[in-house]
Amino acid sequence: METKDLLKGLEKMLTTEQINTDEEDLYDASADRYKKYAKVRRVLDVPKPKAIVYPNSTEEVSKLLMFCNDNKINVIPRSGKTATEGGLENWKEDTIVIDAKNMDQTVKIDEYNMQATVQAGVVLGDLEEELRKRGYTTGHSPQSKPVAKMGGLVATRSIGQLSTLYGGIEDMVVGLECVFPDGHISRIKNVSRRAGGPDIRHIVIGNEGSLCYITEVTVKLFKYFPENNEFHGFLVKDMDTGIKILREVMVNGYRPSVARCYSEEDAKQHFYHFYKDHSVVIFMAEGNKEIAEATGKGIEMAAEKFKEGIVEKVDSQLLEEWFENLNWSQQDIDDEYEGMLENDSHTGFTTEVSGDWETIIKIYHNVMKRIKEEYHRVEDLTLLGGHSSHSYINGTNMYFVYNYEIHCAPEDEMRVYHHPLQRIIVEETLKLGGSMCHHHGIGKFRNEWTEEEHGSAYYMLKKLKESFDPNNIMNFGTIFPQEEGKKYQK
Amino acid sequence: MKIICLVKFIPDVENMQFDHKKNVLMREQAKLTINPDDETAIAAALKIKERAPETLVEIITMGPKVVMRKFQDLLRRDVDKGILISDPLYVGSDTYATSRILGKYLKTRKADYIFTGTHSLDGDTSHVPAQIAEILGSCHMNNVITLDIDQLFQGTALLRVNNEGNTLQFQMNPPGIISFEKSREYKMPYIRYGDFQRDVSDKMEILTNQDLGLKEEEVGLAGSLTEVSRTFMKEIAQKDSITVKNDEEGIEAVYQFLKEKGYV
Amino acid sequence: MKKCLIYVENENAQDAVDLIEAVDHLYGRENAMVFGFGCLESLKNGEGFFDVLIPGETEKSLEYDVKNITNCMEALHQAYGFDSILIPANYVGRMLAPRLSMRLNTGLTADVTAIESDGDNIELIRPAYSGKLMAAIKNRGGNPLMMSVRQKVFQWEKPRAAKSEWRGFSFDTIEEPEIKFIGIEKQEAVEDIRESEVLVAGGGGSAGYFKELKDLAKALNGQVAASRKIVDREIAPRSIQVGQSGKTISPKLYIAIGISGAIQHIEGLKTPDHIIAVNKNSRAPICSIADLVVVGDGKEFIRKLLQRIYGDTEHTKYNE
């Protein structure tokens, strides 16, 4: 479609302030944090979208989607811009970005029924701040909290640092509202539970913008007792011991809000002042006084069981200070941008996977071994480690972290560094039956493995896409592999 | 114009680990890397070649065959020719012997300029360029930060040199040896992804003592005029941190610390 | 009696005088006859320290003309047959020493930091591998023993003795110089913190008094740097930000005031020789890598330390 016709079409539905065609903003919108380095160095290889639009209401979103569906215009749903896996990257010439910026109302905070309803453009950090004033919390605390917005957080099936107690976003969402490519608006009502057929919320939660556009979300509230927070930490002999301690706590029914185990190298970057070359296990117990204390006791008992593997207990004060400084801020992001302009390196990439208790530690060792033996640029790695940060009764995740010095042209960075490393991690994980994406989503850069990830169940995902987005206008390339998009993945 | 660059591959000194149990510096495990000053020298030559593509840039290194891979990476840039001088007889050469070996070869090559680095991170004697200059009868300059490329094509080298924080200007006529200091002015271009494995063997030549024809007593340990009788570690104690308060005693401790280390 | 020749450079004659201390370590001062060679003006500073002073005045200035200095010193050695030749390892010295050693076909040890000698067996100690390793070097060539030595490694603190003997020498092997010294560039005060040997850095804790850091930096001949928190608050420009996303620095001395030591900041500190951390929190991560930790308020620390450095009376500004 001709750009001027596209813009004319938009102007029929929106005011001029709602349509952004600024060149810099469009360049910025063509990729997300996945290609951050290439973006800063101005060597992105993907097309720019034609416009960014800011609808004021769900009705406007509906009109926009119908327009795009009729004219085969690619739609990138966007809210907080903190995507890290190419979910916001643009692979089509005819694209508009629908940004939830103007839909930033907190609709209702219902303390009695413990629910809060917000529009997609509300910043989680802002909601959280408001709730804390009243003694509540969403329990959702991803690192991007100060910047990320509710629409994206639900679309990506995000998870926060306190998930071991509060769950992931899927445990927090009550009802929601979303719009489909044919313009249809679906409101899923707020009930505590129902058996009204399959749980259709799960078509939306985690769709990564490939099926619909989320406009409103209702989440549960929890009472907030920061005064009862307890930190427990240990230096352990190795990751194996650390994972065993995590498992012990979980299978005995305790729900610490934070349960983490860092490998030595990963520990170094967070805890260089006390890790002493060891793996580090960290717990936080949270909640009302009785529960927090009981959880703390449970943690101590687990530690006691594995005491031969424990080198030393860590001072709680140190952990508390560390935890307070964990989250990103907009300034962190801006600073990183400036840093990438000046230097030939940046904080590295991550690939995070999940598995059951037995498998996860095998995956960890296999990955470490294979990278050290096979990866052709292993000498450029300045950090290679992993940590488990979200545990369940039946397993946990493993978050692989790698930093490297960039000894290649900026446009080659991904294919020289991140892609080969990601490939090793994904392959080793899928080999042993784990999942290649615990919470970062598939985005566009793991879509070659989507079918392998789901196996015979991929059929169900595919059918959803065919039904809801027959014209393939929703976030082309996300989750579902596209032949046309392969050139941007190399 | 013809420029010959001398390059040395050194163990990665910055990241060398120290084995506290055996009390040794683990040199063998350290990976090989290009000496930073030498890399600047090559980058400078390549910048000149970018301006005048007919410039010939040749690189020479002396070392064991294991440097081959990294050496070839240099050839994957716009370098025209690479010479690896390697012979077991040369092992153990001090700077004097090394200079004689390189000097013997360089005498057979006519170059307008020879570019080298000034410091090497492992030995850091800065001997070789000056000694080669003496053998060739050329003039030589250290710590060069930049040279004026336009003037170079006019037939003279206008050099800016770093002398302990001051910048001095010199003029040198070819032939001469210009030793660079690591500089942000000259950056080695990247090899593009497609070129990582490009075959550059046609640009390479390996020379042994057969080709250079030095006598055994002139090279290696036999030809060295200095020898390392022993090595030892400086006392790299695990940092024993001292903690003081902001009171008179504490401030005095800080002052004495600063005085002792020469900061006041 | 051993004969030693020391090159006296134009810029700093004291460096050459200090090398007499090295001669003392080699043979014992009383066993050596120490010659100084250099330009007349510089040699005057050597009066009373050297036994013999030989000025190298020629029509052309020898200042940076390494080839001709080599010619002169070769001629001197042919005339006197020195047992050792010592050269200060400054800019000219580092080009001169290797050249001369190759001319005289003798061994040269660079950057000597210590000497172990019993008169006949001499070991010259020098650092290698960026200072991680020390090597003891022996000279296998005959005479002269040659070495270059860095500033302030040795210091000759004895007072002037008897007068020096001034001798002339006819230098007739001077060639037409091939290198022309054009001049010294005017320094534009471009303060790149990466070039500074001493950095006084302020972190979030120093926000209230950040501008006082420059007084301390000045007293220590250093520069001011900042952590990200300070730059975020626009108290300092990004050009002096230390850290993973800022500049990577490797100073000799790093004083971190009110800096907690987040890893992103520490990543910017590559092997400083000494770290002093000033923080109210003794368990701030940065304290674990500091040589000296001062627990307390940074503003007070600066004030008190400056008082100590300058002496109470001179800087009343700090006597609040």
pLDDT score of A2 more than 60: yes
Which chain C residue lies closest to B125 (C-alpha atoms)?
C110
Q: Chain-wide mean pLDDT for chain B?
A: 90
Which range, A66-70, A381-385, C114-118, C161-165, is most confident? Answer: A66-70
Chain C within 8 Å of A276 (Cβ-Cβ)? no
Average pLDDT of the residues in A44-60 = 97
Confidence class of residue C320 from pLDDT cuts 50, 70 and 90? Answer: very low
Kindly report the three-state secondary structure assignment for every residue of chain A: CCHHHHHHHHHHHCCHHHEECCHHHHHHHCCCHHHHHHHHCCCCCCCCCCEEECCCCHHHHHHHHHHHHHHCCEEEEECCCCCCCCCCCCCCCCEEEEEHHHCCCEEEEECCCCEEEEECCCEHHHHHHHHHHCCEECCCCCCCCCCCEHHHHHHCCCCCCCHHHHCCHHHHEEEEEEECCCCCEEEECCCCCCCCCCCCHHHHCCCCCCCCEEEEEEEECEECCHHHCEEEEEEECCHHHHHHHHHHHHHCCCCCCEEEEECHHHHHHHHCCCCCCCEEEEEEECCCHHHHHHHHHHHHHHHHHCHHHEEEEECHHHHHHHHHCCCCCHHHHHHHHHHHHHCCEEEEEEEEEEECHHHHHHHHHHHHHHHHHHCCCHHHEEEEEEEECCEECCEEEEEEEEEEECCCCHHHHHHHCHHHHHHHHHHHHHHCCCECCCCCCCCCCCHHHHHHHHHHHHHHHHHHHHHHCCCCCECCCCCCCCHHHHHHHC
Closest CA–CA distance from residue A381 to any residue of chain B (Å): 12
pLDDT tens digits, one per residue of C137-171: 999 878 899 999 988 888 888 888 888 999 999 98
Provide the number of CB pairs (under 8 Å) joining chain A to chain B: 13
Q: Looking at residue A280, which CATH number applies to its domain? A: 3.30.70.3450
Are the C-beta atoms of residues A138 and A221 closer than 8 Å to each other? yes
At B262, phi and psi to the nearest 5?
Answer: 85, 20
Q: Is residue A43 part of a domain?
A: yes
As a whole number of angstroms, the distance between CA A138 and CA A125 comes to 10
CB A156 within 8 A of CB A436: no
Residues B152 and B3: beta-carbon distance below 8 Å: no
Q: Which of C193, C233, C244, C266 to mutate to test the interface with A (most CBs of A within 10 A)?
A: C244
Q: Both A87 and A121 in a single domain?
A: no
Q: Which residue of C has its CA nearest to A330?
A: C232
Q: How far is C161 from chain A (nearest CA, A)?
A: 55
Residues A210 and A273 in one domain: no
pLDDT class of C59 with cuts at 50, 70, 90: low
Domain CATH code at residue A483? 3.30.43.10
Report the C-alpha gap between A463 and A476 in whole angstroms: 16
CB B122 within 8 A of CB C128: yes
> In which band, very low, low, confident or very high, does the pLDDT at C51 lie, cut at 50, 70 and 90?
very high
- For B:18-77, CB contacts with C below 8 A are 18, 25, 27
Question: Residue B78 — φ and ψ, nearest 5°?
Answer: -80, 20
Mean per-residue pLDDT, A85-102:
96
Q: Tell me the residues of chain B between 185 and 244 that have a Cβ less than 8 Å away from chain C.
A: 224-234, 236, 239, 241-244
User: Which tokens hold the place of C253?
Assistant: 């001395």
The reported pLDDT for the residue numbered B264 is: 82
Q: In the Cβ-directed half-sphere of A292, how many Cα atoms lie within 13 Å?
A: 17
Q: Which of A302, A324, A346 is the last residue of a domain?
A: A324
Contacts of residue B193 in chain A, CB cutoff 8 Å? Answer: 408-409, 412, 415-416
| pLDDT above 80 for B29 | no
At residue B19 the predicted structure's pLDDT band, cuts being 50, 70 and 90, is low
* Highest mean pLDDT of the ranges A206-210, B244-248, C192-196: A206-210
- Residue C316's pLDDT is 47
Cα A296 → chain centroid: 28
For residue A336, the chain C residue with the least C-alpha distance is C245
In sequence order, the β-bridge partners of residue C253 are: C198, C274
Sign of CA dihedral A323, A329, A335, A336: positive
The SS3 of residue B252 is: helix
Same domain assignment for residues A202 and A146: yes
A427 is a domain residue: no
Q: In 3D, which of C213, C25, C4, C261 has the Cα closest to residue C122? A: C25
In a mutagenesis test of the B interface, which of A379, A383, A415, A490 is the best target, namely the one with the most B β-carbons within 10 Å? A379
- What is the residue range of A273's domain? 226-324
Instruction: Select the residue from C66, C106, C129 to test the B interface by mutation, using most B Cβ atoms within 10 A.
Output: C129
A117 and A197 assigned to the same domain: yes
Q: Do A94 and A146 fall within a single domain?
A: no
Cβ contacts (< 8 Å) between B36 and chain A: which residues? none
The pTM score is 0.84
Q: Is residue A240 situated within a structural domain?
A: yes
Q: What is the pLDDT of residues A249-271, one digit of tens each?
A: 999 999 999 999 999 999 988 89
- A375 within a domain of the structure (yes/no): no
Residue A456 within a domain? no
- Rounded to a whole number of angstroms, the distance from the CA of A335 to the nearest CA of chain C is 7
Within an 8 Å CB–CB cutoff, is residue C232 touching chain A? yes
Which of C238, C264, C284 faces A338 most closely, judged by CB atoms? Answer: C238
Of A288, A303, A324, the domain-final residue:
A324
For B70, the 3-state DSSP assignment is helix
Q: Omega into B175 within 30° of 0, i.e. cis?
A: yes
Cross-chain CB nearest to C246 (options A272, A273, A339): A339
Question: Does residue A421 lie in a domain region?
Answer: no
Is A356 touching C (CB cutoff 8 A)?
A: no
Structure confidence at residue C319 (pLDDT) = 44
Q: Answer yes or no: is pLDDT of A13 > 50.
A: yes
What is the spatial distance between Cα A282 and Cα A246, in angstroms, rounded to a whole number? 9
Contact list in B for residue A415 (CB cut-off 8 A) is: 193
Residues B75, B5: contact at Cβ < 8 Å? no
Largest CA distance in chain C: 69
Residues A174 and A200 in one domain: yes
pLDDT higher than 60, residue C312: no
Residues A234 and A208 in one domain: no
Residue C313: band (very low, low, confident or very high) from pLDDT cuts 50, 70, 90: very low
Domain parsing of chain B, residue ranges? 2-218
Structural domain ending residue among the three candidates A223, A240, A259:
A223
Right CATH for B2-218 from 3.40.640.10, 3.40.80.10, 3.40.50.620, 3.30.590.10? 3.40.50.620
Angle at the Cα of C122 from the Cα atoms of C119 and C126, rounded to 5 degrees = 140
Shared domain check, A175 and A128: yes
CA dihedral A471, A473, A476, A480 (to 10 degrees): -40
Nearest-CA distance C258 → chain B (Å): 13
Do A203 and A239 fall within a single domain? no
Residues A301 and A265 in one domain: yes
Q: Is B191 on the interface with A (CB under 8 A)?
A: yes
Minimal Cα distance from A408: which residue of B? B190
Q: How many domains does chain A have?
A: 3
Does the beta-carbon distance from B230 to C180 stay under 8 Å? no
